[in-house]
Structures are given as structure tokens and as C-alpha cells.
A and B are shown apart, each in its own frame.
Chain A
């Protein structure tokens, strides 16, 4: 088991290093070079030269990369001259809000998608299956901002029970103080996630229901509910744990759109505002951090999966 953990950790580390390499390359592809992109169009040649020297951008590339890595390890993600704030600080303020949105919608999605997927698998190729399948395809095909707008129209205009805008509070406490404002963004993000998860759970459950061990369980005279909940569901849900990890990039992409739509002050909105203003330190910093979060999430999911599924756990333990 420790061997597996170490191997998986090593792999994650390699991926993170590759990601830093990608952001480093992008940094150097920026129009006018890194210094001009960071300092802005008005910077004088002298400012650029001194900045280049300070950051080590006048040294050989590999040395620059080493410096870049060292700064990253030290928690220095750069400085945004436009926000007049360090990137780390800007992210720090917004990261918890994005996490709240992502975790909340994931939780809702799992709670909704599991029963849906199970119903689809048990009643496969009959009307409940077709109905749910049709709805999830529809949800998948709808651009998430269009879906969010429909929600706003429905729940803020036609039947005005919820605010159309997310909480604008600066701190987490302020955000949490307006739970009603969180409902629509979280639900919007959850709907798309449900569409993806329920299809996955359905196919995982169908595979398991066709396994021989299910027939063995039935031969014991168990009620169908016990066969499904006691035998099939566990096995069908194990792979879903890794899906949670695999789905993270799509979840964060979705969060970016939802935050923009509901004006929710998280990482996504920060990133969007930075993109419009060409604030590259923020853009690269957020990209890097989001990617590391993705890698870490996938790592946690894989390790969790290995820890709970005896097939993987014991196989990993033996080697």
C-alpha cells in the first residue's frame, strides 16, 4: 500500500512539475515578453530592464525556470500591478468561495445522481431510464450559462423566491450570511454535474447487475432491494470515487462560467476579470493553482479508492 501511495504521489509530482513548465512557457510566449506583459504597456525600457534583472529574466532559460520554481515553492505566485496586490493574496481571498461552490454542487450532484443512476440501471430500457437519460442529455447539451439564466428567470422573476445574484461579501462569513444567494449558482453547477454523474453511475450499475455474483446473491433468496443496495451498489459506486477526481477540471471550468454569470467573487471571476484586463500574473497564478488543486483532488480520489476497494487495496498491498 505504501508503495502504491509513493508511486502515485511521484506521478502527481511529475504532473505538477510539467504544469509549471507549461505556465513558464506561456509566460515567455506573452506578447512583448514577460516583463512588458506584467508591467503593462506604459512601462519604460528602464523599468523593464530592472524588472528583468530583478526577476532573473536576463539569465539562461533553465536558470529562469529554476528561479521560477523556487519562487513558487516559497509561495510567491507573482505580483499583480493592476490589482496592486500579490497574486497569492488575491487568490487567498477568493479560493474558499470557489471551494464552497464546487464542493456544495458536487455534494448535491452525488446525492441526486446516485439514486437517478440506480433507478436507470434497475429499470433500464424502460420509461424511467429513457426519461432520466433524455433529461441528462438535455442538461449536457445546454450551455451552462443559458441554464443558469433559465434558473434566474424561473426563480427570480416568474416565481421570485431567490436572488438572481450571488452574495457579494468580501469574507467567507459575509458570503455564508446570505445562503439564499448561494442556491442558484450551486444548483446551476450541480445540474450539469448530475447529468455527467448519473450516466456514469448508470453504466457502472448496469455492468455490475450483469455480473455473476448478483445471480449468486439472488439465489440466496434475497429481496431485490437487498441485492441492489447490499451487493451491487457498493461495487457500482467504487469507481465513482475516481470519477470525482477525473471530473474536477470540468467542474472548475463550470465554476468559472457560473461565477461570471452570478457575479460570484471567486477564483473564476478573478480569472475572468484578469483575462479582460490582460493581467497575466493573475491569469498564470490562478491557472497554476487550479491545476495543482486538480492534481491533488485526483490524487486524493485515487488513494481513497485504493483504500476502500478491497480488490485494489489488497493487490496494492501484496506488490
Chain B
């Protein structure tokens, strides 16, 4: 690719503050970046790193109280900060386009799609109504929208998340911008949709010769899509290089730590985790901002301001990485449960159906089939991972197993007793055996209770011990999850996300259960904190002999955590087997498509275009008969209209045309 020498956009010492009720947060501190025409710049960082603030500063969309306080934003040689308001609006409206994180809320709910997409043309170029509509249809077709001539007259809530994101992209593209900014464009989407959207952005960049800034927390997304990468931490760019160079040889200690914290790079079964938390940017800071968490920091790091140095590969670190780090393929986990272990949980033909919006007088016959005949077992000391995209029924399975809802039919056998047939008292005792861990521990804790009450509650409910014994147990739990005793007197809102997950874990351990159902326990966490929580979960499993049902949409996390993996699609378990076999030798076409869609932090690897699934997830109100995946399956034939049984030995699949034969047992 021919890269022009003059950058299209250049940030020079950009600093942005956000005023609070008291004081201000220094969100950006002397950020230097550049992006050339036709190039994709990836900006990667954890929450609070300033990556989103950087692009919002460029677009002039800072939240209330936000203000650019220093530096230059040079677009095509002109400093945007010096432009007249009207010209600035024109530059931002016509020459730049932006795609936002949450497509569900990014569109005006009461405006027709066509009117929203064409609005920039109408405003900036004075295009007439009829022509604007034609242009909108044209651009919607270009972004892969089915039946664009119909959709122009629709409203946003009539479209799925992926489709809405296409609309947002179309809206950005209709002005033929020279710079496209995508802020976490796929974070709210499922992996298969994510892949479609990222490919679309790639294609469009080439076709329109745009510069693209791709902001994400996901190193995998960056590795696959960006030409160059800037790593941000605590409001600063700490390292910038070409993608290949950065992933081959990261130099900044933070970049290195971030990569080693990925589940994909787990060595010897343990994740590298960065201790501590990012600094509070509302307080004055000196020296390298990563120093308090860095194992290589010296006094010099803490006192001198380290600046970004170097040309092609610049980094701001006094003690950079010198040896070459490589991302090792995920080490297969030693199966922790022997084959002979007794099952702690057996689920047979589990079915859960809900009434479809049958509010008030209209009680229609429509039923949502959330879980449709799922069977599996979990052995003592084992982790069963359940993966699938949103709406596949994995969380419902978790809630049913944890006894939060009764199943429509089927058996849930915990420790030899079928939960669904137990009397009240026995079911009450059953809760000691099975506990639930939530994705959002903040929402799962009563905001008006102190941590000691929160941790004591399960003991009170199950009448375990006297108050002295309970106090002792609570202290023990805090030690187990590595939190100080002081935490007991505090309220949930005083803790960070990672700390809350630890407290949530402590609470689910309080009754000494044998099985914990963890529903997306790390999905809301940053990579470095995620590693801390995952390590803790595995340590406790080893020490206490726990079993987990680990539910997640993130295949790499499940791969790291689970002994066996079950894959769900639209209420059905389509494949289940040993983790390494499911991930490396998938038998179901859906599993393969899911695996191929996962972006990996390895710039050398390219996805096989053939396996990508097209189309949208069918409705669970009237799911397809037979194999539920057949409407989107590249291999589907007539026979798929009959339901395939889940068949096989240790690695089972429900497919008439499995991709592979089962590997020899014990492979």
C-alpha cells in the first residue's frame, strides 16, 4: 500500500481535562498521535486509559465538563482548535465520520433510518429530500443491509444490534469522510457479528481510501485489523509501533504485562496478572504512571517524567523489555478431574419456555423456547464451560441449575437428588450445594448493605453457626479472596469492579458449596483485572475441590478455565467435549464459525473467510425445526430438518454432518 508521507491527522501534545464537582480529572496528558490516509491506527487501552477521550476530543464530543486544555489537533495541516465554529462543524460533519460503541442507543429512536443516514447530506450539502433518500438507500446497500429500500423507512428499534451498527457506519460513510473513527464498534456485539462489522470497515477503508482510527480494549481486534498501534495508559500514549512489531516485540513494561495477562498467553496454567489498579487521574501524578504496578520500576521511574521516544517504534519506558516476548499458544490445561469422579451435577432434557410478552389481556400461544432439551453433567472438581452468543440460553441454564427458576421440564440432579422434585426444606438445603456468581456484582449486592452483612447473609439464611462463627467465617472468606479486613465496614459502591468480583466470589463460597455457577464473571473487567479474578477462581478450585459451571461468551476465557466445554446455539447444546478438543478440533459447523470469528492477538493469523456465518440469529419464539442452526449453516441439507441427537463418546456433537470424526479417546 502506498502511504502518503503527510499524516492526515496529527495530535500534538493534546491535553484534555474533565471538570468534576471538586477539582478535575486530567483525562489526557500530552497525547501525540498521527494517522495517514488509507491507514488504520489502533488505539488500545483499558478503561480509563483515555482512548475514548482522545477520539471524543478530536470530534469535539467531550462530555459535560470536558475541555481540551492544550496542544494541537492538526487535520490536513490545519489546527481544528483554531477554526471558526461553523467551519469546524463542516470539517467534523463532512470530512470525519464516527461509529460508536452501543448501536442500540446511538440512533434516534423516533427518526426513520433514511432520514438519519442522509441528514449530513441535507445539512452540509443541501441535497433535496428525494435525492437524499436515494443516496441513503445506496449507502445502506453498500454496508450490506438487506432490502435497503424498505429499511430506509424503518425505525431503529425494528433492527438487530448488528444491523443498527451498519446503519451507524452508513451514516458516517454517506459524507465520504477522509477519516473514520470507530470507538469500540463491536464491543456490544456477538463475535460472529463483530467479525462481519470489522470486515466491513476494512473493505470500506480500502474502497474509500480513508484513514481509520480503531479504538478498542481488545488486543485481538487490534492485531487483526490495525496497521499501527498506540497503547494508552492513564491518559498517555506509552508505546506506539506497527502492529507486527508491537506484537512481536513490545517494549513498554505495561504493553508486555497486558499481553501476558491474556488467557491465550497463559503459561503453566497461570495467568500473569498486573497487581493493583490504574491511578486516580484527579490527583497530581509524577513520574511514570505505571510505576506503582510495575515490577521493574526504580526510584527514577517514580520521580522523572518519562516521555515517548523513538521513531517508528516509540515507547515511554526507562527499563524497556529487551528479550523478545512471544505469545505462546494456550497451554492445554491438565484435566483436573479424573474420569472416575462422581458427577456432582447431572442435567437431563432440561427445557425452559417463557410466555412471549403475554402482558395483561392478550395471552397468546407464542412461547419463547429459551432452553430446549439440554443434557450434561459436571464431575466433582471439574469446570464445565458453556459458551454461546447472546440469546443462546446459556444464562437461563445457569439460573435453572442455581435454582432461581423452575424448569418447564427435565431433571436437575445435584448430588444424587433431583432438585425439581424436592420438597421445600430439601430445596432450601440444596442451595448450600450450588451457588451463583454474577457478571455484575455491583448489581447483585444490595447497595445499602455493608460488605459484612452481604457476606453474612447466606450464613443467616441457611442458619449456619452462631454470630461468632459467622464472623470468623467472613474473615476467612476475605482472606481467601485477598481483600483486607477493612473492607467489611464499607459499602459496595466504594469498590472497583475487580474487587467486587472478589467479594461476589467470597459470598458464593460462604456456604462451602460444591458447585458454583459463574455467569460471565469477568466479562465486565479489564484484561489485567480479569487475570486476577481468573487466577483466584482456579486457586480456590484447587484448594477447595470446587466444581464450576463457567458461562461466558468469550471462548478464550472459557478455553483457559474449563476442563470441558459445551457450545449452545438457540437453546440447544450442539457440541460438548474436552476443552482442548472442542477448541482445536471442533466438530459442529457452528462451533467452527464461532472459533474463526474470535479475533486472536496474533497479527500473522488471518481468518478463513469461508467459515463465516451470514445472516441473523432466528427468533426463539418460532425456532427452526430440526437442527436449529440449519438456516445459517453452510453444510445444511434436507436431512437437517430432522433433529440430530447429541452423539459421541467424550466429545459429543449434535450434527448430521460433523466436521471431524471424534479424536481417539484420551488425545
A and B touch in the complex (CB under 8 A): yes
Given contacts A212-B106, A222-B119, contact A3 B61 (CB under 8 A): no
Q: Mark A1-34, 1 if CB is under 8 A from B, else 0.
A: 0010001001000000000000000000000000
Interface residues of A in 177-220 (CB under 8 A from B): 211-213, 215-220
Query: Which of B97, B110, B155, B171 is the most central at the interface, judged by chain A CB atoms within 10 Å of its CB?
Result: B110
**Chain B contacts for A213, CB-based, 8 A:** 105-109
**Chain B contacts for A3, CB-based, 8 A:** 362
Chain A nearest CB: distance from B163 CB in Å? Answer: 15
**Chain B contacts for A211, CB-based, 8 A:** 105
Is residue A231 within 8 Å, beta carbon to beta carbon, of the partner chain? Answer: yes
**Chain A contacts for B357, CB-based, 8 A:** 319
Interface residues of B in 357-406 (CB under 8 A from A): 357, 360-362, 364
Chain A nearest CB: distance from B360 CB in Å? Answer: 6
Q: Are A216 and B93 in contact (CB under 8 A)?
A: no
Chain A nearest CB: distance from B301 CB in Å? Answer: 37
Q: Are B362 and A10 in contact (CB under 8 A)?
A: no
Is residue A235 within 8 Å, beta carbon to beta carbon, of the partner chain? Answer: yes
Query: Which of A7, A213, A217, A319 is the most central at the interface, judged by chain B CB atoms within 10 Å of its CB?
Result: A213
**Chain B contacts for A219, CB-based, 8 A:** 59, 61, 92-93, 97-98, 100, 172
Residue of chain B at shortest CB distance from A4: B362
Interface residues of B in 87-118 (CB under 8 A from A): 89-94, 97-98, 100, 102, 105-111
Q: Are B110 and A310 in contact (CB under 8 A)?
A: yes
**Chain A contacts for B601, CB-based, 8 A:** none
Q: Are B123 and A226 in contact (CB under 8 A)?
A: yes
Is residue B653 within 8 Å, beta carbon to beta carbon, of the partner chain? Answer: no
Residue of chain A at shortest CB distance from B105: A212
Interface residues of A in 282-319 (CB under 8 A from B): 309-311, 314-315, 319
Residue of chain B at shortest CB distance from A234: B110
- The 8 Å CB contact of A310, one of B59, B120, B155, is B155
Q: Are A223 and B89 in contact (CB under 8 A)?
A: yes
Q: Are A215 and B124 in contact (CB under 8 A)?
A: no
Once bound together, how far apart are the Cα atoms of A226 and B124, in whole Å?
A: 12
Residue of chain B at shortest CB distance from A308: B110
Once bound together, how far apart are the Cα atoms of A7 and B363, in whole Å?
A: 12
Chain B nearest CB: distance from A150 CB in Å? Answer: 38
Q: Are A221 and B94 in contact (CB under 8 A)?
A: yes
Is residue B158 within 8 Å, beta carbon to beta carbon, of the partner chain? Answer: yes
Q: Are A212 and B100 in contact (CB under 8 A)?
A: yes
Residue of chain A at shortest CB distance from B85: A223
**Chain B contacts for A218, CB-based, 8 A:** 60-61
Q: Are B93 and A222 in contact (CB under 8 A)?
A: yes
Once bound together, how far apart are the Cα atoms of A238 and B108, in whole Å?
A: 13
Is residue B512 within 8 Å, beta carbon to beta carbon, of the partner chain? Answer: no
Residue of chain B at shortest CB distance from A309: B110
Chain B nearest CB: distance from A166 CB in Å? Answer: 41
Chain A nearest CB: distance from B102 CB in Å? Answer: 6
**Chain A contacts for B105, CB-based, 8 A:** 211-213
Is residue B561 within 8 Å, beta carbon to beta carbon, of the partner chain? Answer: no
**Chain A contacts for B158, CB-based, 8 A:** 314
- The 8 Å CB contact of A216, one of B60, B106, B155, B157, is B106
Q: Are A221 and B107 in contact (CB under 8 A)?
A: no
Once bound together, how far apart are the Cα atoms of A3 and B364, in whole Å?
A: 12
Chain A interface, DSSP helix/strand/loop, else mixed: helix
Residue of chain B at shortest CB distance from A212: B105
Once bound together, how far apart are the Cα atoms of A41 and B97, in whole Å?
A: 82
Q: Are A10 and B361 in contact (CB under 8 A)?
A: yes
Once bound together, how far apart are the Cα atoms of A212 and B104, in whole Å?
A: 9
Residue of chain B at shortest CB distance from A313: B155
Chain B nearest CB: distance from A35 CB in Å? Answer: 41
Q: Are B110 and A7 in contact (CB under 8 A)?
A: no
Q: Are B110 and A238 in contact (CB under 8 A)?
A: yes
Once bound together, how far apart are the Cα atoms of A93 and B168, in whole Å?
A: 58
Once bound together, how far apart are the Cα atoms of A310 and B116, in whole Å?
A: 15
Chain B nearest CB: distance from A247 CB in Å? Answer: 23
Q: Are A314 and B157 in contact (CB under 8 A)?
A: yes
Q: Are A220 and B123 in contact (CB under 8 A)?
A: yes
**Chain B contacts for A310, CB-based, 8 A:** 109-110, 155, 157
Range of interface residues on B (Cβ < 8 Å) = 35 or more
Q: Are B157 and A311 in contact (CB under 8 A)?
A: yes
Chain A nearest CB: distance from B146 CB in Å? Answer: 19
Once bound together, how far apart are the Cα atoms of A277 and B230, in whole Å?
A: 84
- The 8 Å CB contact of B108, one of A7, A223, A235, A309, is A235
Q: Are A311 and B171 in contact (CB under 8 A)?
A: no
Q: Are A221 and B168 in contact (CB under 8 A)?
A: no
Q: Are B92 and A314 in contact (CB under 8 A)?
A: no
**Chain B contacts for A223, CB-based, 8 A:** 86, 89
Chain A nearest CB: distance from B534 CB in Å? Answer: 31
Q: Are B123 and A217 in contact (CB under 8 A)?
A: no
- The 8 Å CB contact of A7, one of B107, B155, B168, B361, is B361
Once bound together, how far apart are the Cα atoms of A238 and B110, in whole Å?
A: 10
Chain A nearest CB: distance from B91 CB in Å? Answer: 8
- The 8 Å CB contact of B93, one of A221, A309, A315, is A221
- The 8 Å CB contact of A235, one of B60, B91, B109, is B109
Q: Are B102 and A314 in contact (CB under 8 A)?
A: no
Residue of chain B at shortest CB distance from A3: B362
Chain B nearest CB: distance from A121 CB in Å? Answer: 12
- The 8 Å CB contact of A311, one of B86, B98, B109, B119, is B109
**Chain A contacts for B94, CB-based, 8 A:** 221
**Chain B contacts for A7, CB-based, 8 A:** 360-362
Chain B nearest CB: distance from A246 CB in Å? Answer: 20
Once bound together, how far apart are the Cα atoms of A309 and B111, in whole Å?
A: 10
Chain A nearest CB: distance from B96 CB in Å? Answer: 8
Q: Are B107 and A216 in contact (CB under 8 A)?
A: yes
Once bound together, how far apart are the Cα atoms of A276 and B473, in whole Å?
A: 71
Interface residues of B in 490-512 (CB under 8 A from A): none
Once bound together, how far apart are the Cα atoms of A309 and B109, in whole Å?
A: 9
Q: Are B123 and A222 in contact (CB under 8 A)?
A: yes
Chain A nearest CB: distance from B213 CB in Å? Answer: 13
Residue of chain A at shortest CB distance from B92: A221
Chain A nearest CB: distance from B582 CB in Å? Answer: 37
Once bound together, how far apart are the Cα atoms of A232 and B561, in whole Å?
A: 46
Chain B nearest CB: distance from A259 CB in Å? Answer: 39
Chain B nearest CB: distance from A231 CB in Å? Answer: 5
Chain B nearest CB: distance from A238 CB in Å? Answer: 7
Residue of chain A at shortest CB distance from B90: A221
Q: Are B108 and A231 in contact (CB under 8 A)?
A: yes
Query: Which of B119, B168, B175 is the most central at the interface, judged by chain A CB atoms within 10 Å of its CB?
Result: B119
Once bound together, how far apart are the Cα atoms of A315 and B93, in whole Å?
A: 33
Chain A nearest CB: distance from B445 CB in Å? Answer: 26
Q: Mark A219-256, 1 if CB is under 8 A from B, else 0.
A: 11111001000010011001000000000000000000
Once bound together, how far apart are the Cα atoms of A281 and B227, in whole Å?
A: 84
**Chain A contacts for B106, CB-based, 8 A:** 212-213, 215-216
Q: Are A319 and B109 in contact (CB under 8 A)?
A: no
Chain A nearest CB: distance from B106 CB in Å? Answer: 5
Q: Are A221 and B360 in contact (CB under 8 A)?
A: no
Q: Are A221 and B123 in contact (CB under 8 A)?
A: yes
Residue of chain A at shortest CB distance from B102: A212
Once bound together, how far apart are the Cα atoms of A309 and B110, in whole Å?
A: 7
**Chain A contacts for B98, CB-based, 8 A:** 216, 219
Chain B nearest CB: distance from A1 CB in Å? Answer: 13
Residue of chain A at shortest CB distance from B155: A310
Q: Are B171 and A221 in contact (CB under 8 A)?
A: no
**Chain B contacts for A217, CB-based, 8 A:** 108, 119
Chain B nearest CB: distance from A96 CB in Å? Answer: 36
Once bound together, how far apart are the Cα atoms of A224 and B211, in whole Å?
A: 27
Q: Are A220 and B119 in contact (CB under 8 A)?
A: yes
Chain A nearest CB: distance from B9 CB in Å? Answer: 15
Chain A nearest CB: distance from B67 CB in Å? Answer: 16
Once bound together, how far apart are the Cα atoms of A222 and B361, in whole Å?
A: 45
Given contacts A234-B110, A310-B155, 11 further A-B contacts (CB under 8 A): A216-B107, A218-B60, A220-B93, A220-B123, A220-B175, A222-B119, A310-B157, A311-B109, A311-B155, A311-B157, A319-B357
Q: Name 8 interchain pairs, CB-CB below 8 A, sorted by A.
A: A7-B360, A213-B106, A216-B98, A219-B97, A221-B92, A221-B94, A309-B110, A310-B110
The 4 residue pairs across chains A and B that have the minimum distance between CB atoms: A221-B93, A212-B105, A221-B89, A219-B98
